[in-house]
Amino acid sequence: MKNIAILGSTGSIGKQALEVIKNNPLNFRVSVLTAYHSADKLIEQAIEFKPDAVVIGCEDSYEKVKSALYGSGTRVYAGSEEINNIVEQEDIDIVLVALVGFAGLKPVLSALKAHRTIALANKESLVVAGELITQLAKENEVTILPVDSEHSAIFQCLAGEKSDSIEKIYLTASGGPFFGKNKLFLENVTVSDALHHPKWEMGQKITVDSASMMNKGLEVIEAKWLFNLDISQIDVIIHPQTIIHSIVQFVDGSMKAQMGLPDMRLPIQFALSYPTRIPSPLPRFNFTSQTAFTFSPPDRENFRNLDLAYFAIRQAGNMPCILNAANEVAVEAFLKDRIRFLQITSVIEQCMEDISYIEKPDFEDLIETNKETKTYAQHLVKSYF
């Protein structure tokens, strides 16, 4: 029985993780749940799963959550700092970090310092502070288990292999809702269009990132840190069927691919149950129903975010932090109909050109870079609106 803390339990990954836990009551127990704004959903989850503690990030909702859970035995805390602190206080075996964006960084660092195994569904923390996180994980002998389907696939393909045997990895991408579309089409897409992903059920932010190819760019940076690779060893290919989740090519020319239906509950369950596999009631892939797998290179001309991510990690320093912060602001603005789809890239590119570059940032530098970039990106958004 593993005690699980889910940071971001009311989001897409968090809700699917709770479904996995519900289906495996002899393997997992919920110890901690956290949410920021979704007080009603957090209360509902806490009543069902009876965690030791919950944290509501928005302090205005504290009394509501506390009152609803009075007498349940679940302790209630409030505030962003309590989300960071809670992973150090409870009886926790695995911390599933399912928070969105830069907000995941401090809880990841707290979990590492507390020697908690991390199931990481927050790629942005590695994008922003990959060197800091990997070094801290090494010092504290903490395992980071990837939850992204692509990184879970690479992790599984590398089981039993030596790191120096890797020649290249291929991260597969579905192509998103705009696969094959040209710039003229992209200039007029709506928020509804961007949120209509053909394969995956995800939160709004990551769905827009998938549509713009930024999600794959962030995954490239994440893979560099997770698997200690040079950026030249990481490639991206479009695979619309989304059955092959990623591929490792070895120095002898052989390749391993991990396959499965596009369902995030699979990599979530693998991360929570690792190093063992447990049965799953999820549907199985039928080879006779899929007549062909296709692959193609990404469209870097119309989806420039991928190359911006490659540029950011080659520059290193605080440049990935600038990329991530600008993207968070731009995506939020697009979701609120304040900028057009292609202007997401424009905001990011302008921030990367104008925000001060720091070659060797410390943690405080990253905090300041994130703040400065978001302020400037919001200014750019206003100039477009």
DSSP secondary structure, 268-299, as one string: HHHHHHTTS-----SPPP-GGG------B---
Instruction: Give the β-pairing of 2-7 and 28-35.
Output: parallel
Q: What confidence tier does 211 reach under pLDDT thresholds 50, 70, 90?
A: very high
Contacts of 96 (CB under 8 A, 6+ apart): 4, 5, 6, 7, 13, 14, 17, 119, 121, 147, 268, 271, 272
Q: What is the pLDDT of residues 248-275, one digit of tens each?
A: 999 999 999 999 999 999 999 999 999 9
Q: What are phi and psi of 200, to 5 degrees?
A: -105, 145
CATH superfamily label, 2-146:
NAD(P)-binding Rossmann-like Domain (3.40.50.720)
| C-alpha pair distances (Å), 268 with each of 31, 117, 277 | 17, 14, 12
Of 284 and 203, which is predicted with more confidence?
284
| C-alpha pair distances (Å), 201 with each of 33, 103, 242 | 21, 22, 13
Examine the pLDDT at 99 and tell me if it is beyond 90.
yes
What is the structure's pLDDT at 291? 79
Record the tokens describing residue 273, joined without a space. Answer: 């149950």
Q: What confidence tier does 290 reach under pLDDT thresholds 50, 70, 90?
A: confident
Q: What mean pLDDT do residues 4-16 have?
A: 96
What is the structure's pLDDT at 181? 93
Record the tokens describing residue 204, joined without a space. Answer: 């709004």
Domain span(s) for CATH 1.10.1740.10 in the chain: 316-385
Q: What mean pLDDT do residues 188-217 have?
A: 90
Examine the pLDDT at 199 and tell me if it is beyond 90.
no
pTM over 0.75: yes
Of 176 and 249, which is predicted with more confidence?
249
Record the tokens describing residue 342, joined without a space. Answer: 């292609």
Contacts of 4 (CB under 8 A, 6+ apart): 17, 21, 28, 29, 30, 31, 32, 92, 93, 94, 96, 272
Span 316-385: which CATH code? 1.10.1740.10
Domain span(s) for CATH 3.40.50.720 in the chain: 2-146
Q: What confidence tier does 323 reach under pLDDT thresholds 50, 70, 90?
A: very high
- CA-closest candidate to residue 381, choices 321, 337, 323: 337
What is the structure's pLDDT at 91? 87
Examine the pLDDT at 370 and tell me if it is beyond 90.
yes
What is the structure's pLDDT at 38? 95
Least confident piece of the model among 57-66, 80-89, 305-314, 321-330 = 80-89
Q: What mean pLDDT do residues 380-385 have?
A: 90
Q: What mean pLDDT do residues 27-35 have?
A: 97
Check: CB of residue 90 under 8 Å from CB of residue 96. no
Q: Side by side, which strands form the sheet with 28-35?
A: 75-78, 53-56, 28-35, 2-7, 94-97, 117-120, 144-146
